[in-house]
Amino acid sequence: MRIFALLLVLILSGCISATYSGKVYEPTKELAIYYSHADMPKGDYQTIGELNVTADTTCSGESIIKKIREESMARGADIALINYFNSRFIIDKHQHSKHCQSGHCHQEKRDKYKYKKLVKVTLIKNK
């Protein structure tokens, strides 16, 4: 049973990746997530960086938010502002077109291998 649980964790964690550009501070213990700048409380903030999260189309929204939370807190952010979400982002359009032209364009394969979910997040720190 433990082996099954470990395999499940490894499989699910492999469907999401993150890239970050910006400053890194001491890790934080709490993080607020907002979907609009207008929803943020008034305060003195500074943007510390940008986080891009890509996930397989089979990954749940909860697992994506968990990854955003982990990555943001590890870099010292107090706030993660989700700026952009696309549930069907084409990773490699050239390869996709080449694949379809060869007559091997099946909907399931195209969805599984050519599309990803993309989330762009601004990381913010309280001053």
Which value, to the nearest 10 degrees, does the dihedral of the CA atoms of residues 91, 92, 98, 102 take? Answer: -30
37-82 tens-digit pLDDT: 999 999 999 999 999 999 998 899 999 999 999 999 999 999 999 9
Give CA–CA dist 110/66, Å, rounded. Answer: 26
Q: Considering the entire predicted model, what is its pTM? A: 0.72
Where is pLDDT greater, at 20 or 111?
20
b/e per residue 80-98 (b: at least 16 CB within 10 A) = bbbeeeeeebeeeeeebee
6-49 tens-digit pLDDT: 334 444 445 899 999 999 999 999 999 999 999 999 999 999 99
